[in-house]
Amino acid sequence: MADRLNVREGGQPIYDIVIGKDFENLGEELKKLELQERRVCIVTETTVGPLYEKAVSAVFEKMAKEVHVFTFPAGEGSKNLDTVKNLYLFLIEHHFDRKDLLIALGGGVTGDLTGYTAATYLRGIDFVQIPTSLLAQVDSSVGGKTGVDFDGYKNMVGAFYQPKLVYIATDTLKTLTEKEFLSGMGEVIKYGIIKDEEFFCYLENHAEDIMKKDPESLAYIIKVSCDTKRKVVEADFKEQGERALLNFGHTLGHAIEKYVYEDRLHGECVAMGMAGAAYISFKKHYISREEMNRMIDLILRYQLPVKENRIDMDKVIQTTYSDKKMEAGKIKFIVVKKIGHAEIDKSVDWMEMKQALWCIMEGKYNER
Amino acid sequence: MADRLNVREGGQPIYDIVIGKDFENLGEELKKLELQERRVCIVTETTVGPLYEKAVSAVFEKMAKEVHVFTFPAGEGSKNLDTVKNLYLFLIEHHFDRKDLLIALGGGVTGDLTGYTAATYLRGIDFVQIPTSLLAQVDSSVGGKTGVDFDGYKNMVGAFYQPKLVYIATDTLKTLTEKEFLSGMGEVIKYGIIKDEEFFCYLENHAEDIMKKDPESLAYIIKVSCDTKRKVVEADFKEQGERALLNFGHTLGHAIEKYVYEDRLHGECVAMGMAGAAYISFKKHYISREEMNRMIDLILRYQLPVKENRIDMDKVIQTTYSDKKMEAGKIKFIVVKKIGHAEIDKSVDWMEMKQALWCIMEGKYNER
């Protein structure tokens, strides 16, 4: 039996997130989409495609009118309007109309790109997400954010658009590199810190099972992560208030990610951003030194970084202030009031952020 | 006092359509958008800009944080992703964030393009429509359709996205060419035929006032047209059923518009498509010969065409069958059951359409 969550909008059920071990239950889940008369285009990239495209295609071949596969070069470099245009042309060439369906098979780039194409082709066609990275499974499964990078800016062009189904097969995590898996753990830890102390404790106590990719532990942490994001997002679909909490660790993390180096993954930068945000929360007397250290220890337990000495301080601060999460010139910084409870704080200034960045550069949080 | 309609979605009020004579009431209407802290970008083109940009800018200058103007070359040729990209770059350059606002000042191309950019910049920012053509006023003010052409296909890329306000100044119709004004009348007549017999009679009896652009008559026909579209769309926001009635005259009209010539405007092609659809409705015994002729006479009364001998029959039929309004291979043709009442009919075949096209080619509807 696969685990299942239902995501709603304005009280209405809109789609299920199904978490299974492999693709065994995918066919069953697709039945309600009535594919007999519909064309399907599986969108994937050059790393994930060779691993899973055949297995997934086989399921659709049995049910859909036609199955086509569009493969683009793996990597963030493909997440732009040129790839979207190529996909539009592919769909036009194969006569896709508004009743047809896209399938995003891959990580975050594939999901964002496919979702955005689905949102805008013929003013919107259905799509299904099959996220294969831990980060995409716990982050992109909920919230309807789609988009591509533009002119050097991340997610500058996009839309809010919901999938018809998200199907997660935890076995796909076995083919992920360790670095990518741990990057996903950065976001998982975030959910514990901002909303769920019990889950934070689970992550402290089950690190060994998780690190060796025990299927049940993986299904559990994915389910809790998606469910936490679901609760936050359902209360706030257009990102006005509560949803901002999901940016915990991201204000500094995004800025570090953007300017400083190419060898760090998103979750690694978020890990450093979370350590910095924990430090700021401690300095503002919201949490004790012990609580700060418990968070930093959990990050380290999952082999995620809290130290990076190659930071260009001024550029990071500048980027932070030009971030699209700004509101009327003030940064909506997310602080922790206790483990399992984060809040928006508009009083965090550049001096406090600079101090946090010094901690990250030195990897020392207890000496200032 | 300006006329006003409220457009709702799922029972919730989402925006007002305000119909005034000029821009006198615009400032008052903008108050509720609280522009003090917001940047505004007026998007317009090289024909409309020189006529109205100054008057509109003056209103925003008094209220907004910053006012910028983006002008693109007038014409359908600009309605593509290249213009959208240029607008994205302009917005980035001027530091527009998600709290800022776009203003579409112009006809249908400007509205569609600006709405699409607003829908996708930073996953959606607010926009206001100031439609200056009759067609845009009665067609684009309601329904949330935004989009651009792609690879030779009209509106291939787009999104459903609602404005925060639509402000119509009927005086702008005075600077419209007669041909463009009459093209808009094609859509106005459509509303009478599909939904409102009383309005159809009004159009029969007040042609003289309307043709000489009497402000009160114009405000009335715009209001009734928008209100009719509003009722149809509110019942059916994602174009599943009822909304298809708005395609009356468009199945043949679009195909004629696409392939046959460049010198015909949208409303002129719709006029011919409506004459053809009236003929099919008569041939299928839904309406009497007299009713068919009453519709054709009204079209002619507004100097719109019902004859065009330059039609490439095969191409038009072929285009009709590849239209995105198709559903599972069947054309959702819109027929008239009586004046003021249209219905979807999936039984119309290519032979009947061919006969209607012969009538259009010969301009004779009473000899077959």
The domain spanning residue B14 has which CATH number? 3.40.50.1970
> Which of B122, B160, B328 faces A123 most closely, judged by CB atoms?
B160
Rounded CA gap, A219 and A221, in Å?
A: 6
A17 closest CA partner among A147, A141, A196: A141
Q: Which of A99, A147, A322 sits opposite B123 (nearest CB)?
A: A147
| Residues sharing a CB contact under 8 Å with residue B149, sequence separation 6 or more, in sequence order | B76, B79, B80, B155, B156, B157
pLDDT class for B176, splitting at 50, 70, 90? Answer: very high
pLDDT at residue B325, as a whole number: 58
Q: Are strands A126-131 and A101-106 parallel, antiparallel or unpaired?
A: parallel
* Residue B121 DSSP symbol: B
In terms of Cα–Cα distance, which of A185, A97, A85 is closest to B84?
Answer: A85
Same-domain pairing of B290 and B342: yes
**Within this chain, do residues A188 and A316 fall inside the same structural domain, yes or no?**
yes
Mean pLDDT of B68-94: 97
What pLDDT score does B11 carry?
Answer: 81
Last residue of a domain, one of A173, A197, A226: A173
Range of the domain at B293: 178-362
Q: How many domains does chain B have?
A: 2
B164/B244 same-domain check: no
Q: Give yes or no: residues A154 and A91 share one domain.
A: yes
Same domain assignment for residues B144 and B275: no
Nearest CA in chain A to B326: A97
Indicate whether B367 belongs to any domain.
Answer: no
In a domain? residue B167: yes
- Give the mutation candidate from B83, B123, B154 for the A interface (greatest A CB count, under 10 A): B123
Answer with the residue of higher pLDDT: A319 or B147: B147
Domain end, chosen from B174, B203, B223, is at: B174
Using the Cβ of A157 and the Cβ atoms of chain B, whether some distance falls under 8 Å is answered with: yes
Q: Dump strand ranges (E) for B253-307.
A: none
Give tens-digit pLDDT for A288-317: 999 999 999 999 999 999 999 888 888 888
- Nearest CA to B313 out of B269, B365, B353 is that of B353
Q: Is residue A368 part of a domain?
A: no
In a shared domain, residues A119 and A148 = yes
A151 to B88: CB separation less than 8 angstroms, yes or no: yes
Is residue B260 predicted with pLDDT exceeding 80? no
Q: What share of chain B is helix, strand, coil (3-state, %, to 5)?
A: 50, 20, 30
Asked whether residue B331 is assigned to any structural domain, the reply reads: yes
Percent pLDDT > 70 in chain B is 96
**Residue A142 counted as domain residue:** yes
User: Mind listing the pLDDT tens digit for each residue in B323-362?
Assistant: 655 665 678 899 999 999 999 999 998 899 999 999 999 9
Residues forming beta bridges with residue B334, ordered by sequence position: B344
Count chain A–chain B contacts defined by CB atoms under 8 A.
76
A92 pairs with which residues across the strands?
A: none
- Would you give the DSSP letter of residue A354? H
**B330 and chain A in contact, CB less than 8 A:** no
Q: Which residues pair with B307 in a beta bridge?
A: none
Examine the domain organization and report whether A274 and A293 are in the same domain: yes
Task: Tell me which residues of chain A, numbers 18 to 37, contact chain B at a CB-CB cutoff of 8 Å.
Answer: 37
Comparing alpha-carbon positions, the chain A residue that sits nearest to B327 is A99
Q: Of A39, A79, A250, A264, which is the active-site residue?
A: A250
Same domain? A190 vs A294? yes
Beta-carbon separation of A92 and B37 below 8 A: no
Which of A80, A87, A120 is the best substitution to test chain B (most B C-beta atoms within 10 A)? Answer: A120
Residue A234: which CATH number? Answer: 1.20.1090.10
Which of B120, B145, B240 to probe the A interface (max A CBs under 10 A)? B120
What's residue A317's pLDDT?
A: 82
Residue A323 sits in the same domain as residue A254: yes
Structure tokens belonging to residue B120: 């996708």
The ranges of chain A with pLDDT < 70 are 1, 237-240, 260-261, 322-329, 368
Q: CA of A327: which chain B residue's CA is closest? A: B99
Q: Which pLDDT does position A1 carry in this prediction?
A: 56
Q: Is B16 helix (H, G, I), strand (E, B) or coil?
A: strand
How many Cβ atoms sit within 10 Å of the Cβ of residue B31? Answer: 9
Domain-terminating residue out of A105, A139, A173: A173
CA quadruple B273, B277, B283, B284: dihedral, nearest 10: 150
Domain identity same for A105 and A213: no
- 3 state SS of A357: helix
The alpha-helical segments, DSSP class H, found in A246-312 are 250-259, 266-283, 289-301
Does B166 share its domain with B221?
A: no
Instruction: Report how far residue A185's alpha carbon sits from residue B106's, in angstroms, rounded to the nearest whole number.
Output: 50
Name B87's Cβ contacts closer than 8 Å, sequence gap at least 6. Answer: B43, B70, B72, B113, B114, B117
Q: Which residue has the higher pLDDT, B226 or A238?
A: B226
Is B312 found in the same domain as B183? Answer: yes
